[in-house]
Amino acid sequence: MGLFGSENKSQVKKLKKIADRVIALEDKFAAMSDEELKNQTTVLKSRLSDGETLDDILPDAYAVVREGAWRVLNMKHFYVQILGGIALHQGRIAEMATGEGKTLVATLPAYLNALAGNGVHVVTVNEYLAKRDAEWMGKVYKFLGLSVGVIVSNMPEKLKKKAYDADITYCTNNELGFDYLRDNMAVSKEQRMQRGHAFAIVDEVDSILIDEARTPLIISGRGGKSGDDYIAAQKFVKTLKKDVDVEIDIKTKEINLTESGIAKAERFFHIANLSDLENLELNHYINNALKANFIMLKDDNYIVTKDGEVMIVDEFTGRLMPGRRFSDGLHQAIEAKENVEIKDENKTLATITFQNYFRLYKKLSGMTGTAKTEEAEFRTIYSLDVVTIPPNLPNKRKDEADIVYTTYNGKIAAIVEEIKRCKEVGQPVLVGTITIEKSEEISKALKKEKIAHVVLNAKNHEQESAIVAQAGRKGAITIATNMAGRGTDILLGGNAEFMAKKKMQDEKYTDEQISYATAFNHVDDEELNKARERFNTLYKEFKVETDKEKEEVVALGGLHIIGTERHESRRIDNQLRGRAARQGDPGSSVFFLSLEDDLLKRFGGERLQRIAFMFKIDEKTPIQLKILTRQISNAQKKIEIQNFSMRKNVLQFDDVMNAQRTIIYDERNRVLDGLPVRDQILNMFPDIISKIVYKNLDEERPYYEWDLSSINADLEKGWFAPGSNIVNEKFVEDCDINEVVDKLLNLIKVRYNAHIKEAEEIKVDFADVERFVLLRVVDMNWMNHIDDMQILKSEIISQAFGNQDPVLAYKREGYELFEKMIEKIKETTCQFLLASHLEKEEAPKPPMQRPTFTPIARKEPQPAQEQKKESKPFVQKTVVNDTPKIGRNDPCPCGSGKKYKNCCGKNNT
């Protein structure tokens, strides 16, 4: 610990040398007029153009922002905030305690890096914070001449593009990731919204880069229907007995059938061997039904609405996630369990993990109050180190030892008594819970005792932030899930600014008027100036009230935090504690636990209950044993290691897909950017024709012994007209195999050139046709490939490849699938271009649209939208070849390896 503490001191010392240069410039910029200060943005950009670096201009840029914030917001960055801002610019994580003003800190590196002209993304955990910070800090940027954008879901495409084109863009991690995937599904250059990934500042970086890293971002479309299979699996699972037919590992939440369960499955489904590869799909349905019934809990992992919709509850925030669905069939399994309508399965169209999305940035940085415990993961996954920034004022919070009870009921009773004690003297209390369900149970207990309180269940960010801002008032009792109202400081005595804004809203002032009223820069607008006068009057009145109340609350010991159980992660516990004692205020925290809590049950709770029974400890008596404290700490460490391992595993698999995704997305961007693809297409023909020739003709035999019927059969599948019998005895006379290839290529070249000439005659740019066809074929095959890779991953995991590393097996076999997909792209592109006819457009076509999609199992829902695109200057008609009929059980000709009825023939069955 000493070594790492010493290392952090050394890092902070280096930051201080730069910060001292910023402070030294304070008087220089304070002496400037508003116009002179604004002009510094132009001056700094010129210095960059003349060859100076961002590091060279940092002291001046930070001093300019500091002075700008003072003039516009009446806020000046503290010394420690400058330290944090320097760490962020260097591409590091700044660990700063709650209340240290991280929102203001971000303005320093955001302004500096925006001067380079490549855009800066400031990433927040929810849309309320993105809008709030863009509006609040945007006043400073705009004063200094920079543009500011904010990204929210449901924004029109044009407004989103404009926001991304701004110098500084505030957005959520989910919307950023989904927009990246949408951009790589765009069918025209104009539909792309993001302009690159130069620099990102991630607020609450541990929440975004670690807590949410296990679940990939997925954009999906409608897939096939399979409701009957889910119902059958549900009926089967209802016959099973826990611990007899099913074994559950409560530590890892893994679930499997026992020998007894497997035997029951084979009898129920009338099959010989459940492990046979032909039963892989059945295993998929059974596994999902097992998870739905034994792992996924109603009102904890999901709820069922009055309309019969299964809605996800976010495991980190406790928020409902309308519009999101669990992927890979789990949602349908839960619908079968709850006996509600089973909706169609989703087909994955595009996917990426947060790890691989944020690794796209040339420079990445982040802020949080709790990062040091996860520094190893930040270094390993993102190459980010953590610098702990010293607080502006010493921390006065008192963290009491955990109080543990034998039963859950005993714990709840003790929590109510603790709240009563605080209520009697007027000390404000914030009660933190892990789930909505637990919040409601504590609320019910308080109502029984007639104790007034407020419950925040993380449903409305803006409303919650207003309530949390007042959680420091005398006598306030607030119950909140861990993340509710996050990003808002709790001020002792109350928040005068929030109170003044609320009063102005009640008095019907507009949002624009309130926004200007809370700034300090000069405006030549009588109405806005009147609004500012009204705000100042109200603020002064409320400030007198809150200052007086603050003195009383400080005397009572400040805000008291009560944790109702330990979270799996120590970071989440520390975040809850960190809500008390901001900026040198007093405060305290304590956790009430029981031996029936999930965490303790998973790691030794039964043994501890036996100890309690031996000592005859009743449910009203707290247990204070050193072994217990060690047990809790060790349990959390074990789960943190396990979760890190799971996130690493997700990343290792996605890294395989990421390499393939990069190739495909780069190819798409080349096409969308209008680069010529003709040479690339012409190079595809020799590859494919050579394979057809070498497959059908034996180079060891003379030409007159060749079986010409087989090669003609293959060539007439899209290359030449049926019955044309191109390769006849005369065609191959005195030829070797290479000469046959050359002759066929010459014929194809003639046909292809005829297409180009035909396009010229009707004033169609054939290069546009080539780009359009290639783009469509790439998209179609890539989407199918994503499904194939998901199936491969499931097979590899379910078959447990002996001593073989599953990631290596996935990498090797995934490469083979990728190679097959590339071959399929070449073949389909060439065949399509050869077989299509062009006609002059007689009437305007309906505009082309993006595919409809649904984001899966992430926050901030984005409903499926259809985006318009300019029509192409040609009409395309496909000549359908009369190829032999394919049987339903024949191998699919697309090369997927599936039966025709389960692949391309699914819709024709």
Residue ranges of the domains in the chain? 2-217+355-388, 226-344, 396-648, 658-840, 879-909
Q: At residue 98, does pLDDT exceed 50? A: yes
Q: Name the least confident of 6-10, 58-62, 566-570, 872-876.
A: 872-876
Confidence of residue 346 (pLDDT cuts 50, 70, 90): low
Q: How far apart are CA 693 and CA 711, in angstroms?
A: 7
Q: Residue 235 belongs to what H/E stretch? A: helix 227-237
Start-to-end C-alpha separation, the chain: 66
CB atoms within 10 A of CB 131: 18
Give the span between the Cα atoms of 426 and 469, in whole angstroms. 17
- CA dist 443 to 360, 409, 460, 602, Å? 44, 14, 19, 26
CA distances from 635 to 142, 630, 632, 873 (A): 49, 8, 5, 64
Residue 456 parent element (H or E): strand 454-456
Give SS3 for 49. helix
Q: How far is CA 301 from CA 44, 158, 324, 437, in A?
A: 51, 36, 13, 11
CA pair distance 569, 632, nearest whole angstrom: 11
What was the pLDDT predicted at 147? 98
Between vectors from CA 265 to CA 259 and to CA 267, what angle results, nearest 5°? Answer: 105
| Residue whose C-alpha is closest to residue 285's, from 259, 300, 265 | 265
User: Cβ-count burial of 614 within 10 angstroms (0-12 exposed, 13-18 middle, 19+ buried)?
Assistant: exposed
Q: What is the distance between the alpha carbons of residues 738 and 582, in angstroms, rounded to a whole number?
A: 79
| Other beta carbons within 10 Å of 72 | 21
148 close to 134: Cβ distance less than 8 angstroms: yes
Query: Is the pLDDT higher at 759 or at 167?
Result: 167
Helix (H, G, I), strand (E, B) or coil at 13: helix
Q: Which tens digit of pLDDT belongs to each residue from 143-157?
A: 999 999 999 988 999
**Phi, psi dihedral angles at 884 (to 5 degrees):** -60, 145
What does DSSP assign to residue 97? -
**Using CA atoms, how far apart are residues 80 and 101, in angstroms rounded to an integer?**
10
483 three-state secondary structure: coil
Taking the C-alpha atoms of residue 241 and residue 784, their distance in angstroms, rounded to an integer, is 38
Would strands 168-172 and 403-405 be described as parallel, antiparallel, or unpaired? unpaired
199-203 vs 254-257, strand pairing mode: unpaired
Residue 888 pLDDT level (bands cut at 50, 70, 90): very low
Q: Are 429 and 562 in contact (CB under 8 A)?
A: yes
Same fold across 226-344 and 658-840: no
Residue 906 has pLDDT above 80, yes or no: no
Asked if pLDDT for residue 908 goes beyond 70, the answer is no
Q: Whole-angstrom Cα distance, residue 584 to residue 397?
A: 9
Query: For 35-44, 122-131, 315-324, 710-719, which range has the lowest pLDDT when averaged over its residues?
Result: 315-324
Q: Tokens standing for 277? A: 């590869």
Q: Following DSSP, what letter does each residue of 277-340 receive, concatenated?
A: GGGHHHHHHHHHHHHHHHT--BTTTEEE-TTS-EEEE-TTT--EETT---TTTHHHHHHHHTTS
Cα(823)–Cα(828) distance, integer angstroms: 9
- Across all residues in the chain, what is the average pLDDT? 86
pLDDT-based confidence at residue 900 (cuts at 50, 70, 90): very low
Task: Fill in the DSSP letter of residue 340.
Answer: S
Rounded CA-CA distance 369/102 in Å is 9
* Beta bridge pairs of residue 855: 219
Over 707-727, what HEC string results? CHHHHHHHHCCCCCCCCCCCC
675-711 residue pLDDT tens: 889 999 999 999 999 999 998 898 888 878 888 988 9
Which H/E stretch holds residue 8?
Answer: helix 2-24
Please report the pLDDT score of residue 861 as a whole number: 32
How many other CB atoms are there within 10 angstroms of residue 562's CB atom?
Answer: 24
Highest mean pLDDT among 9-23, 464-478, 609-623: 9-23
Q: Which CATH superfamily is domain 396-648 in?
A: P-loop containing nucleotide triphosphate hydrolases (3.40.50.300)
CA distance 873 to 867: 19
Strands (E), 71-167: 93-95, 120-124, 148-150
CA distance 179 to 152: 11
Q: How far apart are CA 176 and CA 119, in angstroms?
A: 14
The predicted pLDDT at position 278 comes to 67
Ranges of H-type helices in 295-429: 330-337, 354-358, 375-382, 408-425
Are residues 453 and 479 in contact, defined by beta-carbon separation less than 8 angstroms?
A: yes
pLDDT-wise least confident of 13-17, 369-373, 427-431, 862-866? 862-866
Greater pLDDT, 663 or 676: 663
Start-end of H helices in 762-886? 766-799, 806-835
Residue whose tokens read 């990421």: 658
Inform me whether the pLDDT recorded for 864 exceeds 50.
no
Collapsing DSSP to helix, strand or coil, 222 comes out as strand
Provide the residue type at 198 as one letter.
A
pLDDT at 871: 32
- Residue whose token pair is 């790890």: 355
Q: What confidence category does residue 803 fall into, taking pLDDT thresholds of 50, 70 and 90?
A: low
102, 203 Cβ separation under 8 angstroms: yes
Q: Name the strand (E) or helix (H) holding 308.
A: none
To the question of domain 2-217+355-388 being in CATH 3.30.110.30, the answer is: no
Measured over the CA atoms of residue 479, residue 485, residue 487 and residue 488, the dihedral's sign is negative
Q: What is the 3-state secondary structure (H, E, C) of 394-424?
A: CCEEEECCCEEECCHHHHHHHHHHHHHHHHH
> What's the whole-number mean pLDDT along residues 330-357?
89
Beta partners for residue 374, in sequence order: none
Among 513, 486, 512, CA closest to 127: 486
Helical (H) or strand (E) element with 743: helix 737-761
Q: Could you tell me the pTM of the whole model? A: 0.79
**What is the DSSP pairing of strand 310-313 with strand 246-249?**
unpaired
Query: Which range has the worst mean pLDDT, 228-232, 464-468, 780-784?
Result: 464-468
At residue 436, the 3 state secondary structure works out as: helix
pLDDT at 853 over 70: no
pLDDT band (50, 70, 90) for residue 909: very low
Rg (CA), the chain: 32
DSSP per-residue codes, 835-860: HEEEE---SPPPPEEPPP-EEES-SS
Query: Phi/psi of residue 860, each to 5°?
Result: 50, 75
Q: Does residue 48 surpass a pLDDT of 90?
A: yes
Nearest Cα neighbor of 255 from 292, 223, 219 is 292
Domain 658-840, CATH among 3.10.580.10, 3.30.230.10, 1.10.3060.10, 3.90.230.10: 1.10.3060.10
CATH architecture type of domain 226-344: Alpha-Beta Complex (3.90)
